[in-house]
């Protein structure tokens, strides 16, 4: 077993060794149901699709994902186990990828547990399954982008509360850049070209196209780039702290 696989296995076991996993999964599923059926008025719309389900995912991840990522490195610092990890024959890239992968798989499990909603749509009508699959892929990628940002922030602090607040603030900015009132405000204050570039940085801008079933390479590259950049930033932070 490689060092990377060992870290992934260790982190996954850590989730299920405490009530954290059950609490998170319960909260995630309850909020998904509330947003979909109550706020999204799923039954009232009378449409056999999951737009009412996916449209809330950026806002759901805004608070759920930083709550997961805040402990990844901040907890290691608080407990002092990061010193032990840094002395082991493991690269920072392997350590970061291991922790990220475990947390991403855990979020993927939570997302998979929402499949009963898909079965409900299939029972009520004849949805386009291709669009639903695309929506899940986009949601999983977007969750990874949220998580990568949280990993980088967590690597920079030993305080979980600060990690949560800062990661949430950064992700909120990346959501609001695609929010219509914010776009209008930016259009009135900045050149159109700059406004378009800022909007292009937003999570919803790229997720909305995918959830409609339009899987463009540019949207996939965007999420992969955010994940890669954030994780590399976290690795650089850890390497500098290791050197100190």
For the chain, 244 residues long, give each residue's pLDDT as a single digit of tens: 577 888 888 888 888 887 888 888 899 999 888 888 777 666 666 665 678 888 889 999 998 999 998 888 766 666 666 666 666 667 788 888 989 999 999 999 999 999 888 888 888 777 788 888 999 999 999 999 999 999 999 988 878 889 999 999 999 999 988 777 777 777 777 787 887 788 888 898 889 888 887 888 889 999 999 999 999 999 998 887 665 5
- Domain extent at residue 165: 3-243
* pLDDT confidence of residue 72: 82
Say how far apart CA 203 and CA 238 lie, in whole Å: 26
* pLDDT confidence of residue 46: 61
DSSP single-letter state for residue 138: H
Tell me the whole-structure pTM to 2 decimals.
Answer: 0.89
Q: Are the CB atoms for 99 and 7 separated by under 8 Å?
A: yes
Structural domains in the chain (count): 1
- Structure tokens that stand for 69 in this block: 């990522």
* pLDDT confidence of residue 150: 93
Q: Are the CB atoms for 71 and 99 separated by under 8 Å?
A: no
Say how far apart CA 94 and CA 112 lie, in whole Å: 26
């Amino acid at each position: 077993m490689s060092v990377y696989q060992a870290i992934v296995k260790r982190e996954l076991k850590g989730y299920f060794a405490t009530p954290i996993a059950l609490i998170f999964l319960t909260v995630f599923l309850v909020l998904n149901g509330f947003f979909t059926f109550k706020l999204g008025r799923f039954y009232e719309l009378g449409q056999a699709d999951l737009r009412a389900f996916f449209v809330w995912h950026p806002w759901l991840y805004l608070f759920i994902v930083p709550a997961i990522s805040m402990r990844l490195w901040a907890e290691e610092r608080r407990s002092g186990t990061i010193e032990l990890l840094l002395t082991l024959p493991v690269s920072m890239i392997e350590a970061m990828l291991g922790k990220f992968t475990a947390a991403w798989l855990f979020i993927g499990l939570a997302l998979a547990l929402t499949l009963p909603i898909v079965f409900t749509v299939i029972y009520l009508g004849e949805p386009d399954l291709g669009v639903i699959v695309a929506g899940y892929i986009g949601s999983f990628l977007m969750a990874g982008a949220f998580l990568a940002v949280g990993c980088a922030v967590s690597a920079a602090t030993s305080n979980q509360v600060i990690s949560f607040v800062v990661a949430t603030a950064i992700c909120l900015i990346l959501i609001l850049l695609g929010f219509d009132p914010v776009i209008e405000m930016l259009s009135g204050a900045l050149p159109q070209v700059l406004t378009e570039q800022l909007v292009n940085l937003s999570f919803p801008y790229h997720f909305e196209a995918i959830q409609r079933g339009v899987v463009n390479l540019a949207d996939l590259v965007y999420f992969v780039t955010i994940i890669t950049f954030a994780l590399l930033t976290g690795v650089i932070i850890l390497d500098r702290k290791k050197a100190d």
